[in-house]
Amino acid sequence: MGSEKVEAIVNAKLPLTDEGQRLWTIVFNSERIAAVIPQNDFVRPESKSVWDAKGCPVLPGFIDAHMHPISMGLKKLRLDLSQVRSLHQLLQVVQDTVSRVPRSLSHFLIGYDWDESLFEDEQRYPTRWDLDKVAPDFPVALRRIDGHLWVVNTKALQIMNLPEDHPFAFKTQGQLNGLIADEAIRFLQPFVEPTLDEKCEALRIASQIALEHGVTTMADLFADLEVYENAVKSGDLMTRFVCCVPTATAQQLKAPLNWSIDKERCEAKFVKLFLDGSIGAHTAAMREPYADMPSEPGRLILRDRTAEGLMLELNDMGWSLAIHAIGDLAIDQAIEAFRFVRMEGKRFLRHRLEHIEVLRPEHIGWMRRLCLVASMQPNFVIRWQQKGGLYEVRLGWERAKQMNPFASVLKANVPLAFGSDGMPFGPIYGIVGALMHPEPNERLSLHQALLAYTQGAAFACRIENQVGTIAPGKLADIVVLSHLPDEQVFADEWQSVQVVATFVSGEPKFLQDE
């Protein structure tokens, strides 16, 4: 069938509509869904180009409500460290790569997505002294998987001009150890920033990966609008994007409506603000110190009054806010700032809190009262929140097991959206985390988890009138899965679930057999 438009999908089970008990036909009219009718009532005209789902479960296209697609694509263009499983292996990869690079070149060796919590020899951060052993004469910069921590070697430090007393430049026995976080990363940024051509290619790669996972919309939580302008001009937007821009971009544009290049494929709707860092980097702002670093409670990035003033300004300009707050102290700050905005603002828009992993009951109550959306990452639960995982190491089990309280959020009628943050990417893997929370009372049903990756994510992105459900009038963004294991065995059998087809605007953009 290639990529020609389809006029109908027949023999489809709709697990989010009737629990998949009957077969249905989804009729398209151009790019939208015209009707959803029982299969027995569908009379196929001779001219109809139909696609047979053969009884497979058919869902609205998945929506990843929190992603960094360009970073995901760049992993394919730069040194991908996501599969490294020891410090020794990490250093060996760096040494092997450096040995193949001409010494006359002065650009940095850049690697992405190491995760020390998966190291089987020493579960610690690499340092500049480690990197110096294998790359003494070549600048090296390696990004931790969360993006909030980099490690650089001595050669890179000499080039960066980083102040020794910077609060986010870490030290060992009074000396910079090569680990830099959050605000200190700006000193490294000029040397690791990809070119526009690299970013455009990375976006193209990310779009293809998304389609293979059944994802038809991604929210880019720190979007470079120039990349999207180029992608629209070149016809490379294979999926939809909701752009969340940095503060400086929002202030330059003044209002969201001042940037629109393809309203149905790509819009700038949100502004991203960081209030803290990450648990993996020890920079998420906590009420109590880290268990494995008792002198460190993490750090707030903005002062209270600064956060309040900035959020008020952006809200009144018409921007919805996506506020990064992981630790409970950062969530405290976010809630207080939103209360201020609601009291002082000209209006109060639909805003989101991102990650909110160390979420307390009082936070959930305020989120309900302030009509805030919970944008959360269930894949983190599987990767780091299980017994013996990174979160237990960082916070101790009592705090760790209470993180990411998905069920409590839903019970309080707080809108819940799921995204991956690319760690790792993929809704099916994320759903496992929602079903396997270490606290049984915080586990979701399979139905609830699927809704958070479709209808809930659409609401969080303010595109619920266009996508997120299979209904007449909605855009024909569809994913067909091979099967859906029962909820009781999903965690054991999820790897057998395959994406059979992904449709965007009624056009098959990914077919498993092609």
Q: Are residues 342 and 452 in the same domain?
A: yes
CATH number at residue 13: 2.30.40.10
Q: What is the pLDDT of residue 235?
A: 85
Whether the CB-CB separation of 118 and 383 falls below 8 Å is answered with: no
Asked if pLDDT for residue 45 goes beyond 70, the answer is no
- Domain boundary (161, 192, 223) is at 192
Euclidean distance between CA atoms 477 and 214, whole angstroms: 10
Euclidean distance between CA atoms 487 and 435, whole angstroms: 8
Instruction: Report, as an integer, the average pLDDT of 35-61.
Output: 87
CATH number at residue 94: 3.10.310.70
Between 74-83, 84-93, 215-224, the lowest mean confidence (pLDDT) is in 74-83
Residue 66 lies in a domain: no
Asked if pLDDT for residue 165 goes beyond 60, the answer is yes
Whether the CB-CB separation of 91 and 126 falls below 8 Å is answered with: yes
Q: What is the pLDDT of residue 255?
A: 81
pLDDT in tens, 223-280: 999 999 999 888 888 999 999 999 999 999 888 877 767 777 899 989 999 999 999 9
Asked if pLDDT for residue 422 goes beyond 70, the answer is yes
Q: Are residues 181 and 203 in the same domain?
A: no
* Band of pLDDT at residue 144, cut at 50, 70 and 90: very high
Q: Are residues 286 and 396 in the same domain?
A: yes
Q: What is the pLDDT of residue 83?
A: 94
Euclidean distance between CA atoms 427 and 452, whole angstroms: 10
Residue 63 lies in a domain: no
Query: For tokens 């002198």, what's the residue?
Result: 295
Collapsed DSSP state (helix, strand, coil) of residue 15: helix
Q: Which of 317, 361, 296, 297 is nearest to 335 (CA)?
A: 361
- Domain boundary (153, 168, 192) is at 192
Q: What is the DSSP string of 282-349?
A: T-S--SS-BTTBTT-----SS-HHHHHHHHHHHHHHT-EEEEEE-SHHHHHHHHHHHHHHHHHSS---
- Output phi, psi for 64, to 5 deg: -90, 105
pLDDT in tens, 101-111: 765 455 899 99
How many structural domains are present in the chain?
3
Instruction: Report, as an integer, the average pLDDT of 45-60.
Output: 87
Instruction: Report, as an integer, the average pLDDT of 209-229.
Output: 96
Residue 387, burial from CB neighbour count under 10 angstroms (0-12, 13-18, 19+): exposed
Taking CB atoms within 8 Å and a gap of at least 24, the contacts of 298-305 are: 298/327, 298/329, 298/330, 299/167, 299/168, 299/182, 300/275, 300/276, 300/329, 300/330, 300/333, 301/182, 301/183, 301/274, 301/275, 301/276, 301/277, 302/273, 302/274, 302/275, 302/333, 304/333, 304/336, 304/337
Query: What's the CA angle centered on 9, arms 420 and 498, to 5 degrees?
Result: 40
Which helix H or strand E contains 171, and what residues bound it? strand 169-172
Q: Are residues 180 and 225 in the same domain?
A: no
Q: Does the CA dihedral 267-247-318-465 come out positive or negative?
A: positive
Euclidean distance between CA atoms 369 and 390, whole angstroms: 33
Helix (DSSP H) and strand (DSSP E) numbers for the chain: 20, 23
Q: What is the pLDDT of residue 20?
A: 67
- Domain boundary (138, 159, 192) is at 192
Asked if pLDDT for residue 188 goes beyond 70, the answer is yes
CATH number at residue 421: 3.20.20.140
Q: Which of 263, 197, 268 is nearest to 231 (CA)?
A: 197
Asked if pLDDT for residue 431 goes beyond 50, the answer is yes
Which amino acid is located at 509 in the chain? K
> Is the preceding omega at residue 57 within 30 degrees of 0, hence cis?
no
Q: What is the pLDDT of residue 1?
A: 45
Q: Are residues 162 and 230 in the same domain?
A: no
Collapsed DSSP state (helix, strand, coil) of residue 383: helix
Q: Are residues 92 and 204 in the same domain?
A: no
Q: Are residues 150 and 255 in the same domain?
A: no
Asked if pLDDT for residue 43 goes beyond 90, the answer is no
Strand partners for 33? 28
Residue 62 lies in a domain: no
Euclidean distance between CA atoms 321 and 401, whole angstroms: 28
Q: Are residues 105 and 229 in the same domain?
A: no
Structural domain span for residue 489: 1-55+472-514
Q: Which of 431, 396, 311, 414 is nearest to 356 (CA)?
A: 414
Q: Are residues 215 and 357 in the same domain?
A: yes
Residue 412 lies in a domain: yes
Q: Are residues 152 and 207 in the same domain?
A: no
Euclidean distance between CA atoms 91 and 21, whole angstroms: 53
Residue 60 lies in a domain: no
**Beta carbons within 10 angstroms of residue 348's beta carbon:** 15
pLDDT in tens, 331-380: 999 999 999 999 999 999 999 999 999 999 999 999 999 999 999 999 99
Question: For all residues of the chain together, what is the average pLDDT?
Answer: 94
Q: Are residues 320 and 396 in the same domain?
A: yes
Which helix H or strand E contains 432, and what residues bound it? helix 427-435
pLDDT in tens, 367-387: 999 999 999 999 999 999 999
Residue 70 lies in a domain: no
Q: Are residues 174 and 214 in the same domain?
A: no
